[in-house]
Amino acid sequence: MADYFFTLFDTALGRCGLAWGDAGLVAVSFPEDDDARTIARLTRRAADAVETLPPTAIQRVIDDIVALFNGEPRMFDYVDLDMARIADFDRDVIALTLAVKPGETKTYGDLAKALGDVALSRRVGQALGRNPFPILAPCHRIVGANGLMTGFSAPGGTTTKQRLLKIEGALAPDLFDAL
């Protein structure tokens, strides 16, 4: 029997993916250029994962991600995240990120200070770049100093980051949002 499973699903941003095991989700993927790359991203964290239909708990996460990308704010605090193979520093950064609620933002410096030293800001950014749970561990809510949109490696980059922050109410809509 497989230790890990994955599924792909369609959203307003493209085909995303989730990988999970007995202890919870191990990976979330924004859409890549094609399904093979999305699967490759998921299986980096879930080696030998088998594609399957999602069980009820995973389907709930999918439904909420789809709703979020359609402009409906969602909370993901109910999701079990398997952090067993994540480095301690990265786990600490993810924990701080999970505490940032929809409609709020924090800076890389805020997280670094919470970890004990503002000089850790670059390491915080690197840890968020390795975040295996984008969307659920909301790295899009972490911004540069003075609210600058920096450091978002998902497809669409900072434009996607801004879109998610607008959906959640952290940024006001602008003139081009109605187009």
Residues labelled catalytic: 139
Segment holding 20, helix H or strand E = strand 14-21
- Give the dihedral of Cα atoms 156, 29, 92, 25; nearest 10 deg: 160
**HSE of 63 in the Cβ direction (CA atoms, 13 Å)?**
7
Q: Which two tokens stand for residue 143?
A: 């911004």
**HSE of 125 in the Cβ direction (CA atoms, 13 Å)?**
16
